[in-house]
Chain A
Amino acid sequence: MNKFIRRNLAGYTFLLPWLIGFFALAVGPIVSSLYLSFTDYDAVAAPSWIGLENYEFMVKDRRFWKALSVTFSFVVISVPAKLVFALAVAMILDRGVRAIGWYRALFYLPSILGGSIAVAVLWRQLFENDGLVNTLLGVVGVDGPNWLSDPRYSLTTLIVLAVWQFGSPMLIFLAGLRAIPQELYEAAEIDAAGKFRRFFAITLPLLAPVIFFNLVLQMIEAFKSFSGAFVISGGKGAPLDSLLFFTVYLYNEAFSYFRMGYASALAWVLLLIIAVFTAVAFWTSKYWVHYENERS
């Protein structure tokens, strides 16, 4: 008994800071955010209960649907593009490339800088009407659009920004490729399996757990992305709400208009969307992801 207490005492002492943080900064806020989502609240007067009104309003709120569609388009286009690019570069870097360390570092650098405001500022200027991108397009005879003020093109700038940061999934792919036994490729080559065959029969299935991991991680990241869209859209989702990311909309409702109740409802919807997407990914993964140890 004495030993039992001593053990638990040690364990919980070390866990204490995390436990306080867990309840005060995660569980507590999530629960109170659910409560606030049923209230009208401006952070000054006490919250007043209004039942489902926030959610009813949301269904009719055109900006909510716009924010949802902008965010979905961003996730659905940028995540696969980023992963395909990351995998392609990882496969090229995988074996026998000289100076691999240099390339790896160069390709990873944008991932580290990508979240910074400096890069968001830079991106805005790159896609300015007479910015670098249009100047380059002009060289090959294309009259580039007005990327930042034309709502048809504005999202492209953020998708390019996301794909530019393919470095971290690339590193994870590289580690995954290293773990595939070489003998499999040698055996396949003896059986005269071509490059494509080897890719689809060996690389893809054995890499499936890593692809899955990257997919879930990048998807969550994409749903959460904020600062790039915030800075590039001038803080409001402009032009014509074409950059109204869900997070940007939420921020504005909460901290520009102090509609904390409605913003909390938006936050809960975001949480549910991410949870559903992750759950679907896990559920479908049964059919396309097989782990090494379950086959034995």
Chain B
Amino acid sequence: MADTTLVGAAPTHPTTAQIAAAIREERARRGKRAALLKHIFLIITSLVMIYPLIWMLASSLKPDNQIFGNLGLWPSELRWENYTAGWNAMAVSFTRFFLNSTFVTVLSVIGNVISCSFAAYAFARLEFSGKNIWFALMMMTLMIPYHVVLIPQYILFLKAGWVDSYLPLIVPRFLAGDAFFIFLMVQFFRQLPRDLDEAAMIDGCNPFKIYWAIILPLSVPAMATAAIFSFIWTWEDFLGPLVYLNDMRDYTVPLALRSFIAQDSVSAYGQLFAMSVLSIVPIVIFFIIFQRLIIRGIAMSGLK
């Protein structure tokens, strides 16, 4: 609208350059206003998004009677005791839970990266009979809900005497159980130039050598992305530990948190929040450090 009045209102015929300049100016003005509105919207939305997390952090430092019915974030006094008391609030200390979680997570990440990169290398770079069928089947496993295989897997591990150990949580990770990571790595391996393999082949390298000396070193970003996601998901995993671990000394952090609420539903909210905050600290740290890789990983696996 503004553009046409500007042009129409000019008494003498303006040059094209003048019209263009006028349009550009008007656009810039409108652009600025739009940009300001956008920023206001975005800032409000981010605050709403992040507020619950900040509230959790603030509540973890408050005396219990100031947590509810209270919008203010700043506690009247900082209760660091919530952290020390919460750490030892249960029969087993959180030291143990954090060590358990770390153990399961580290081994799961290693297993995932090794086994999934093996499968991905086969799918992306090797020729063998039946490859396309296997690939299609692999993609179909992405759709299967864990709940469907859970019961037979449980019975299998029960018969093997693995229940109440970490084996049911770790061994499947060494068998490329997570098709998402295979898919992510296949996408990445396919982008690497084929000439490399061929040149290496001519130089007498076998497929194992090519995987180890060429593909892996060039795929650090893909491996890192898989490792990060695998870390986050394993750290947060709840259903697996819930089914397989019954002894509190074996609990991972999420299981411990859940018994914290079950055990003490009345008071000690400050301690509960303190432990909740600590449980997500590793993830937040990872997220801050590897933000770029994580965000690229989502776009890559989702689209290409």
Q: Hey, which bits of chain A sit against chain B, CB under 8 A?
A: 7-8, 10-12, 14-22, 24-26, 28-30, 32-33, 36, 43, 89, 92-93, 96-98, 103-110, 112-113, 115-119, 121-126, 128, 130-132, 135-136, 139, 164, 168, 171-172, 174-176, 179, 210, 213, 217, 220, 223-224, 226-227, 230-231, 235, 247, 250-251, 254-255, 260, 263-264, 267-268, 270-271, 274-275, 278
Other CB < 8 Å A-B pairs besides A14-B126, A235-B262, 17 of them? Answer: A10-B207, A14-B207, A22-B141, A43-B154, A103-B46, A112-B287, A117-B255, A117-B257, A121-B273, A122-B53, A123-B52, A172-B299, A226-B147, A226-B239, A227-B254, A267-B151, A274-B143
Which of A20, A29, A176, A220 meets B303, CB within 8 Å?
A176
Given the known interface contacts A36-B152, A274-B143, the answer about A105 and B291 at a Cβ–Cβ threshold of 8 Å is yes
Give the chain B neighbours of A11 by CB distance below 8 A. Answer: 122, 126-128, 131
Stretch at the interface among B66-74, B77-85, B217-225: B66-74
Give the chain A neighbours of B235 by CB distance below 8 A. Answer: 116
Given the known interface contacts A22-B137, A231-B261, the answer about A271 and B144 at a Cβ–Cβ threshold of 8 Å is yes
Give the chain B neighbours of A7 by CB distance below 8 A. Answer: 126-128
Taking each of A10, A20, A220, which has the highest tally of chain B beta carbons within 10 Å of its own beta carbon? A10
A94 CB, nearest partner CB in chain B, Å: 10
Taking each of A97, A105, A126, which has the highest tally of chain B beta carbons within 10 Å of its own beta carbon? A105
- Chain A: which residue is nearest B69 at the CB level? A130
Assign chain B's interface to a size class.
35 or more
Determine if A117 and B149 form an interchain contact, defined as CB atoms under 8 angstroms apart.
Answer: no
Given the known interface contacts A7-B128, A267-B148, the answer about A106 and B52 at a Cβ–Cβ threshold of 8 Å is no
Give the chain B neighbours of A213 by CB distance below 8 A. Answer: 302-303
Task: Report the Cα distance A108→B45, complex, angstroms.
Answer: 12
7 A-B interface contacts by CB (under 8 A): A17-B119, A96-B31, A96-B35, A108-B295, A132-B52, A132-B71, A264-B152
Determine if A105 and B295 form an interchain contact, defined as CB atoms under 8 angstroms apart.
Answer: yes
Give the chain A neighbours of B118 by CB distance below 8 A. Answer: 14-18
Q: Encode B262-285 as 1/0 by CB contact (under 8 A) with A.
A: 100000010011001101100110
Give the chain A neighbours of B303 by CB distance below 8 A. Answer: 172, 175-176, 179, 210, 213
Task: Report the Cα distance A18→B148, complex, angstroms.
Answer: 19
Q: Quick check: is B164 within 8 A (CB to CB) of the other chain?
A: no
Give the chain A neighbours of B103 by CB distance below 8 A. Answer: none
- Chain A: which residue is nearest B43 at the CB level? A103
Give the chain B neighbours of A29 by CB distance below 8 A. Answer: 148-149, 151-153, 156
Determine if B138 and A22 form an interchain contact, defined as CB atoms under 8 angstroms apart.
Answer: yes
- Chain B: which residue is nearest A103 at the CB level? B42
B178 CB, nearest partner CB in chain A, Å: 9
For the residues of B in contact with A, the DSSP-based class is helix
Task: Report the Cα distance A278→B149, complex, angstroms.
Answer: 19
- Chain B: which residue is nearest A31 at the CB level? B152
Residues facing A in B75-94 (CB within 8 A) are none
Shortest beta-carbon contacts, A-B, top 8: A11-B128, A21-B175, A29-B152, A14-B122, A118-B276, A18-B176, A29-B149, A175-B299
Determine if B71 and A112 form an interchain contact, defined as CB atoms under 8 angstroms apart.
Answer: no
A251 CB, nearest partner CB in chain B, Å: 8
Q: Quick check: is B61 within 8 A (CB to CB) of the other chain?
A: no
Give the chain B neighbours of A130 by CB distance below 8 A. Answer: 68-69
Task: Report the Cα distance A108→B294, complex, angstroms.
Answer: 10
Q: Encode B120-153 as 1/0 by CB contact (under 8 A) with A.
A: 0111001111010010011001011111111111
Task: Report the Cα distance A17→B173, complex, angstroms.
Answer: 10
A10 CB, nearest partner CB in chain B, Å: 4
Give the chain A neighbours of B153 by CB distance below 8 A. Answer: 25, 29
Taking each of B53, B134, B155, B269, which has the highest tally of chain A beta carbons within 10 Å of its own beta carbon? B155
Determine if B280 and A116 form an interchain contact, defined as CB atoms under 8 angstroms apart.
Answer: yes
A265 CB, nearest partner CB in chain B, Å: 10
Q: Quick check: is B55 within 8 A (CB to CB) of the other chain?
A: yes
Determine if A250 and B254 form an interchain contact, defined as CB atoms under 8 angstroms apart.
Answer: no
A44 CB, nearest partner CB in chain B, Å: 9
Give the chain A neighbours of B38 by CB distance below 8 A. Answer: 92, 97
Determine if A171 and B49 form an interchain contact, defined as CB atoms under 8 angstroms apart.
Answer: no
Q: Encode B214-236 as 1/0 by CB contact (under 8 A) with A.
A: 00000000000000000011011
- Chain A: which residue is nearest B229 at the CB level? A112
Determine if A224 and B287 form an interchain contact, defined as CB atoms under 8 angstroms apart.
Answer: no
Determine if B276 and A25 form an interchain contact, defined as CB atoms under 8 angstroms apart.
Answer: no
Task: Report the Cα distance A267→B116, complex, angstroms.
Answer: 27
Give the chain A neighbours of B291 by CB distance below 8 A. Answer: 105
Determine if B261 and A106 form an interchain contact, defined as CB atoms under 8 angstroms apart.
Answer: no
- Chain A: which residue is nearest B71 at the CB level? A135
Determine if B147 and A122 form an interchain contact, defined as CB atoms under 8 angstroms apart.
Answer: no
Give the chain B neighbours of A22 by CB distance below 8 A. Answer: 137-138, 141
Give the chain A neighbours of B236 by CB distance below 8 A. Answer: 115-117
Given the known interface contacts A104-B295, A115-B236, the answer about A264 and B52 at a Cβ–Cβ threshold of 8 Å is no
Task: Report the Cα distance A223→B145, complex, angstroms.
Answer: 9
Q: Quick check: is B182 within 8 A (CB to CB) of the other chain?
A: yes
Determine if B152 and A32 form an interchain contact, defined as CB atoms under 8 angstroms apart.
Answer: yes
Determine if A117 and B56 form an interchain contact, defined as CB atoms under 8 angstroms apart.
Answer: no
Q: Quick check: is B24 within 8 A (CB to CB) of the other chain?
A: no
